[in-house]
Structure 1
Amino acid sequence: MSAIAAAYGAFDADTGWRMLERMRHRGPDGLDGRALAHAWIGTARLATSDIADPETSAMLGGDASGTWLVGDGEIIHGRRSRPEAAPDRRTTAPDLDAALRLFTESGPQSFPRLWGSFALVIAGDGGTFAAARDVFGIAPLYWAQRDGTVLFASEMKAFDADWRRDVRPFPPGHSWTPEAGLVAFPDPPGRSPVLMQSRAPAETPPEWVLGAVRETLTRAVERRLDAEAPVGILLSGGVDSSIVAAIASRIAAERGVRLPTFSVGMEGCRDLESARAVAQHLRTVHREHVYTANDAIALVPQIIADLEGFDPTLVHSAVPHFLVAELASHHVGVVLAGEGADELFAGYAHFGRHSDAEGLHAELLATLRDMHAGGLQRVDRMAAAHGLEARLPYLDLDVVELAMSLPPAWKLMNARRPAKWLLRRAFAGWLPDDVLWRRKEQFGQGTGMSDVLRTHYGSRVGPQDLAQHAAQVDPPLRTGEELAYYRMFVEALTGIDADRTVVRFAEA
C-alpha cells in the first residue's frame, strides 16, 4: 500500500507535495516526486517486499527511456515472471518492474494483463502519460479534471480545497491516456457460469470441484504471504477470515513459524469468543483488544475522516476494523483479510431472497462491481490509517474466475444449504464445526458496534432536524444517525461532492 499523487497538464509541484503530505499515513517509508515538462508524479511509499536501499529513491521505478511509474497495491504478475532490472534502473519492487516493463513494450494495452490489485500512473520525458486501476478497484484512485489539467490521488483528502468539487472515483477496470481518454478493460472473469451446467441444483458438487476451491484459494493465500514485512491475519471469528487463517497457518507451519492473528471487540461479544476459539484451534500467536462503547463513540469522527464515507453500515464495521488494524500495526506490516467471500459465494442475508439462480448470479456480479466504494474502501482506509497493507485472497482473479464459473444454483440458500454452503463444504475439517457453520453477521454486529453507535448518534439528531436537512444529498438522508455522520464527513472533507463519491447501502 502506497500513496499516489500525479498530474497531467499545467501543475505546480508544491501542490503535489501537499497532496502527498496529506497521505503520508499510507506511505511512511519515504516521499518522492518528479516534475516533467507535461506532468508531475509522486508517491508516499510503504515498503512490504524487496525493500530498496534507503539511500536510493523511495519511489518510482525509472528506466533509461525516462519513463517513471508510481503504484499502489500488489501485482502478482511481477512474481510470476520477474524481470531482471536493468543496471541503470532504480526500483523498489518486482511488481512495479513488471508493470513498467510491460508498459514499455506494449503501452496501455498491457494494463489488462496485470494480475492483482493495483492503481498505477506512468509518465515519461517524451510526453507519455497513463493511469490505470484494477478491475475490482481494490486499490483506490480518484481523479479530477479542469481547464486541461487532470489530477490523480489515492484518497479524496489529498486534493486541495479548490479541486474537491471536481473529484470523482477513477472507475475500476479502466485506463486513461490523453490520446485515447478513458478506456475499459475487457470484462473481468466469471461473467457467465460455464462449469457443470448439466448438474441439477440439488445435486452435491463433485469432490473435484470442492478440491479446486480449496487449491485455488490456498494458492491465493500463499501468494499473499510473500512479503519481507511480517504478515498477520485479521481474524474476526467469522468463517471467511477463519478459513484464510486456517490456510495461512498450515503454510506457516510448513515453514516452521506460527502466524500472528488479531481480533477486537467489546467484552463478551461473539466475534471475540469465536476468534479465540479459532486461534486456539490453529495455534496462532493471538492478540486481541477489548474496547468500550465510549472508546468507539469517541473514535467516530476520526473514522469518518479516514473512511471518507458516512454510510452507517460502513461506519459500524469501520470502527472495529480501525481498532484491529491499529493493534496489528504494532506487530506486522501486512495483513490478510476475508473480504470478498460474501460477494463470491452469496454470504449476505439479502441474497437469500433469490429463488432463481440467474437472478442471484446477476446480483453477485453487481455487488462485485460496486464493492470498490463499500467494503473495499473500508478495508483500504482503515489499514492505510495505520501504515498497513491489506491483502485479500478471495479477490485473487483465479479465485474469482473459479467461483463465478460455478453453477449459481449451488449458492442459493435453503433449509439444507445455508449461506456460503459451497465454501464451507470445501473446507470441512479445517475448522471446528461451530465456527465453520456459524451464521453470517456483519462485522459491526458481531463486535457489538451497530447497536452502540445507532443508539448514541441517532439520539443526537431529532426528527425535525432530520426533516429540515435530509435533502442535502440524493437520495435524502434516512436517519438521524446518518445525518450526524454526514455532518462529520462535510467537516472533514469540505468541498467533496458526496452524491458523486460516496456509496450508501439500501438500509441505513
Structure 2
Amino acid sequence: MCGIAGIWGQNDPNGVQIMMDSLIHRGPDADGIFVAETQAGVLGHRRLSIMDPKGGNQPIYGDEKSKAIVANGEIYNFPQLRPDLMERHNFRTSSDTEAILHLYEEHGTETVNLLDGMYAFAIADENSLFAARDPIGIKPLYYGEKNGSTIIASELKAIAKCCDNVKEFPPGTYYHSDSGFTTFYTVPDLQPEVDADPEILIKRLRETLEEAVVKRLMSDVPLGAFLSGGLDSSIIAAIVRQHHSGPLHTFSVGIEGSQDLAAARLVSRHLDTIHHEYVITPQEVKEKLPEIIYFMETFDQDLVRSGIPCYFTSRLAAEYVKVILTGEGADELFAGYTYYKGIPDEEVLHRELRRSVATLHNINLQRVDRLTMAHSIEGRVPFLDLKCIELGQQIPAKYKIAGDPLIEKWILRKAFEDMLPSEIVWRNKLQFDEGSGTVDLLNELLSSAMSAEEAEAYQQKHPEAKLRSAEECFYHQVFMEAFDNPEPILANVGRWSDRPV
C-alpha cells in the first residue's frame, strides 16, 4: 500500500514532491521519483513496504530505462504471473508491482485484463503515460489538468495542492495519454439463478469466499483482521484463522460496555486469536475528529460516524501488523442494511444491490482506505473479490433476505454457521457506528457543538452542501477548517444521502 503522484506534460519534480509530502502517511518506508529523459513528465512514489520490503522500492524500471512504474495496492495473482514473465524478463525485485510493468511491456493497455487485485498505478513509457484503477475502486486515484498537463495523485489533499479542477479517476478504467479514458470493467449485470438449489449456492459461496481470503494472505509482513463482533468481520477472521500459519491478531474498539466489544471477545475466544481492544472516550473523539475528517476527506454524516471506530481500530492494529483484512462489501452483496428489507420487489432489490456495490468506491471504500492508510497499514477486502461479486449477482434476492422472521444476509449466515457461535451468526445487523457505541457517544459529544439555530444559519450559508443536520453542519465546519484549498476536495465528496432506493 502506497501513495502515488505525477505530473505529465511538463518536467516539474518540485510539484510532484509537494504532492508526495502530503502522502507520507501512505508510505513512510521509502520514497522515489522518476523523471522522464524526454522531459515529458514526472512520477513520484511513497512506499509502505508489504511485498519484498528490502528490494521493492519504487519507481521500478522495465527492461528499458524509458519505462517505469509507480503503484499502490496488491496484485494477488502475482505468484501465477511471475514464473511465465521471468522467462522473458529480468526481474530486479520480488515485488508484485514489477509484474504489472512487464505485462505492460508485452500487452500494452490490455494489461488490466490480466490483473487480479486492488491497485492504482501509473506507467511512464517515453512520451506516454498509462494509468489505471482497479475494477471496484478499492484503491484511490484522482486526476486534474493544469496548463495542458495531466496531474494524478492518490488523495484529494495532495492533488488540491497543484490543481483546482480535480476529478475522481473512475474505477475499472484506464487512461492513456494518446487515447484518453477507457472503461474495462463494470459490475456485472447478471440474472439471478432463480431455480438454483440453495444448498449448492451455499457451498459455492463458502468456497468462493474462502479462496478470496486465502489469496489475500499474501504478505511479507505481519497480518491481522478487524473483528467488530459482527457477522462479516467474524467470518473473515474465522477463515483467516483456518488458513493463516501462526497466531492471528484481531482488533476491536467501542465505548465502555458496547455490544461490539463483548461480541468480539466471544468470537476471539472461539477462534483462539490474540485479541486487542480499545475503549473510545468522548474527549478523545473530540480531539481526533479534525484529524479523522482530514484523512477521510469527507463531511458526510454517515461516513464520519462509521469512520470514527475505523480510525481507532486502525490505530490499534498499526501497533502490531501492517496488513489487515476487513469485512467491507458483505452488506452490499448480501443485503445487510435494514433499508433493503423495505424493498419488497426481488428484481428491484437485485438492481439496488448491484448499484450499491458499484458506488462503494467513494464512500465506504474511501473510508477504509483513508483510515487504514492514515496509520500506515494496508486494508484488504475479500468480499469484493471479483468472483465474489459475480456470485453475489447470481444469488437470488430471496436467499439474501429470508427466514422467519426475515433476516438480512441469510445465505451468508448459512454458509458459515458451523464456523462461529450461533449468537454471532444470527446476531441482528448493527452498523459499525451503532455496535461500537459511536452513535451514543456522538450524541453526547455533539449536543453542545452546534445549536439548532446555529445549524440553520450555517445551512443557509452553505446551501450547495445540502447539509442534513446540525451534526453534519459541524462536520462540514471542521472539514472547511482542515484544508488550505477545500474547494477541489468538496467537489468530490461522496454522499450516502445521494444513494436513492
* TM-score clears 0.5: yes
Cα distance in 1 for partners of 2:498, 2:211 equals 36
Matching residue's letter, 1:100 = L
Matching residue's letter, 1:348 = Y
* CA distances 1:323-349 after superposition (whole Å, capped 9, x unpaired): 111111111110000101001101011
Q: Determine if contact 1:459/1:481 at 8 Å carries over to the other structure.
A: no
Residues 368, 473 of structure 1: alpha-carbon distance in 2 compared, 3 angstrom cutoff: farther
* CA distances 1:170-214 after superposition (whole Å, capped 9, x unpaired): 1111111122111111433x32125x3335xxxxx4422211111
1:456 Cα deviation from its structure 2 partner: 2.5
Alignment of 1:504 onto 2:501: no
1:85 Cα deviation from its structure 2 partner: 8.3
Matching residue's letter, 2:476 = Y
Match of 2:182 in 1: 183
1:78 Cα deviation from its structure 2 partner: 1.5
Match of 2:210 in 1: 218
Match of 1:63 in 2: 62
Match of 1:467 in 2: 456
Cα distance in 2 for partners of 1:70, 1:16 equals 13
TM-score scaled by structure 2?
Answer: 0.94
Unaligned ranges ≥5, structure 1: 200-204
Matching residue's letter, 2:63 = A
SS at match of 1:271: helix
* CA distances 1:120-144 after superposition (whole Å, capped 9, x unpaired): 11102x2121111011110011111
Match of 1:444 in 2: 433
Alignment of 1:121 onto 2:122: yes
Cα distance in 2 for partners of 1:123, 1:397 equals 28
Residues 307, 464 of structure 1: alpha-carbon distance in 2 compared, 3 angstrom cutoff: same
1:267 Cα deviation from its structure 2 partner: 1.0
Alignment of 1:482 onto 2:482: no
Match of 1:25 in 2: 25
* CA distances 1:402-443 after superposition (whole Å, capped 9, x unpaired): 111222332235644410000000012110010011111111
Cα distance in 2 for partners of 1:100, 1:351 equals 42
Runs of 4+ in 1 over 6 A off after TM superposition: none
Matching residue's letter, 2:208 = T
Q: Which moved more, 1:459-468 or 1:15-24?
A: 459-468
Determine which of 190, 193, 218 is the counterpart of 2:191. 193
Cα distance in 1 for partners of 2:171, 2:447 equals 34
SS at match of 1:350: helix
Cα distance in 1 for partners of 2:299, 2:308 equals 12
SS at match of 2:413: helix
Alignment of 1:285 onto 2:274: yes
Residues 85, 42 of structure 1: alpha-carbon distance in 2 compared, 3 angstrom cutoff: farther
Match of 2:322 in 1: 333
1:72 Cα deviation from its structure 2 partner: 0.8
Q: Which moved more, 1:361-370 or 1:268-277?
A: 361-370
What does 1:96-115 correspond to in 2, within 5 Å? 96-115=97-116
SS at match of 1:228: coil
Residues 162, 219 of structure 1: alpha-carbon distance in 2 compared, 3 angstrom cutoff: closer
Residues 21, 85 of structure 1: alpha-carbon distance in 2 compared, 3 angstrom cutoff: farther
Determine which of 236, 240, 243 is the counterpart of 1:248. 240
Match of 1:371 in 2: 360
SS at match of 1:68: strand
Matching residue's letter, 1:24 = I
What does 1:201-240 correspond to in 2, within 5 Å? 205-240=197-232
Matching residue's letter, 2:123 = I
1:216 Cα deviation from its structure 2 partner: 1.0
Alignment of 1:81 onto 2:81: yes
Cα distance in 2 for partners of 1:112, 1:89 equals 21
Match of 1:44 in 2: 46
Cα distance in 2 for partners of 1:84, 1:23 equals 32
SS at match of 1:320: helix
Q: Determine if contact 1:356/1:409 at 8 Å carries over to the other structure.
A: no
1:268 Cα deviation from its structure 2 partner: 0.4
* CA distances 1:226-247 after superposition (whole Å, capped 9, x unpaired): 1110100110110000000111
Unaligned ranges ≥5, structure 2: none
SS at match of 1:501: coil
Matching residue's letter, 1:122 = I
Cα distance in 2 for partners of 1:3, 1:92 equals 19
TM-score scaled by structure 1?
Answer: 0.92
Question: What's the RMSD between the two structures over aligned residues?
Answer: 1.9
Q: Determine if contact 1:344/1:400 at 8 Å carries over to the other structure.
A: yes
What does 1:401-480 correspond to in 2, within 5 Å? 401-413=390-402, 415-471=404-460, 472=462, 474=464, 476-480=466-470
Cα distance in 1 for partners of 2:309, 2:34 equals 38
Match of 1:169 in 2: 168
Cα distance in 2 for partners of 1:171, 1:507 equals 18
